[in-house]
Amino acid sequence: MRSAWLRLVSPLAGGLLLAALLLAASKAALSQGLFDDNEARRRIAVLRADLEASQKAVAERLALLEEAIQDRRALIDLATQIDALKRELATMRGQSEEMVHQAQTIERRQRDLYVDIDARLRKIEQNQTELTRSQGDLARTQGDLARTQADLAQGQSQIQEKLAQPEREAAQEKQAYESALNQFKVGNYQSSVAAFQTFMVNFPNSALVPSAQYWIGNAYYAMRDYRTALSAQQKVIASWPDNPKASDAMLNIASSQAEMGDPKSARETLKALVTKYPQSPAAEQAKQRLGGRR
């Protein structure tokens, strides 16, 4: 920059010095009368032209100098701006590195998050599969349970039916026996015999069968069919000798024998009754009959 300054200033100084010398020489010549008027005017004009040219050159060079000075300021400003830009660039580079670090951190976190989400999704899928399998097992278990409950309900119904059956049979048994006995009490002896016979067929294992057979004999006795009555009561003694109705059957046999005109057989039957069933109410009646005949 300094050499450029010198190159601009040196020609300007030389031109100005030459113009000053020429002007001084012209004045000196004029003062000495060396030239005539025309020649003097011409020379002055030439000098003036040279001076003007020199001034113009000086002006141009001054302009160039000012432009150079402005360029130098622009260079200084540019250098300042470049320094500022360098500082900003360094700052931006630091920020960029920080952003890159943050981006890497975010990317790493996103990758970790993706891995975690993927693992959770896989676990959820596994749980869903297990849940579906468990639901299937539960459905089958519920089906088995429903069938078991149905079987249990059916079994309970059958058990209740079986438990209730003896009660119903006992009720039916009692009702049939009492119905036949009521027929006897009202004097419907033939209906009573039929009802007791039906009872013995429908309830062969009933504890009331000996009593039913006894009342059949009594019904025949009431109808004066003493032989049939005797046969019916003998069946009681033969089939159920330990039943309480056996002593009553023997008493009724004695009565039938007496009604048929066989008092001897009747007396023998009463004695056998007292001997075989001495503690029975029928034995007391037999004793009374035996004593009365004495």
How confident is the model over 46-87, as pLDDT tens digits? 878 888 888 888 888 888 888 887 877 877 887 888 788 788
Q: What is the pLDDT of residue 106?
A: 65
Mean pLDDT value of segment 266-271: 97
With CA atoms as reference, report the closest residue to 246 among 196, 286, 280.
280
Q: What is the pLDDT of residue 131?
A: 76
Q: What is the pLDDT of residue 114?
A: 67
Q: What is the pLDDT of residue 128?
A: 85
Q: What is the pLDDT of residue 70?
A: 84
Q: What is the pLDDT of residue 11?
A: 58
| 242 φψ region: left (φ > 0), alpha (ψ -120 to 50), beta (else) | alpha
Instruction: Give the CA distances from residue 84 to residues 77, 81, 224, in Å, rounded to whole numbers and listed in that order.
Output: 10, 5, 153
pLDDT band at 294 (very low <50, low <70, confident <90, very high): very low
Tell me how far apart the alpha carbons of residues 274 and 266 are, in angstroms, rounded to a whole number: 13
Residue 280 DSSP code: S
Tell me how far apart the alpha carbons of residues 263 and 258 are, in angstroms, rounded to a whole number: 5
Tell me how far apart the alpha carbons of residues 28 and 34 are, in angstroms, rounded to a whole number: 9
Mean pLDDT value of segment 270-293: 92
- Which residues have a Cβ under 8 Å from the Cβ of 16 and sit 6 or more positions away? 54, 58
CB 242 within 8 A of CB 211: no
Q: What is the percent of the chain with per-residue pLDDT over 90, rounded to a whole number?
A: 41
Three-state DSSP class for 109? helix
Q: What is the percent of the chain with per-residue pLDDT over 70, rounded to a whole number?
A: 83
Using alpha carbons only, give the angle 64, 67, 70 rounded to the nearest 5 degrees. 155
Mean pLDDT over each residue of the chain, to the nearest integer:
84
**Tens of pLDDT, residues 120-170:** 888 888 888 887 888 888 888 888 888 988 887 887 777 676 666 778 888
Name the pTM for this structure.
Answer: 0.49
Q: What is the pLDDT of residue 23?
A: 57
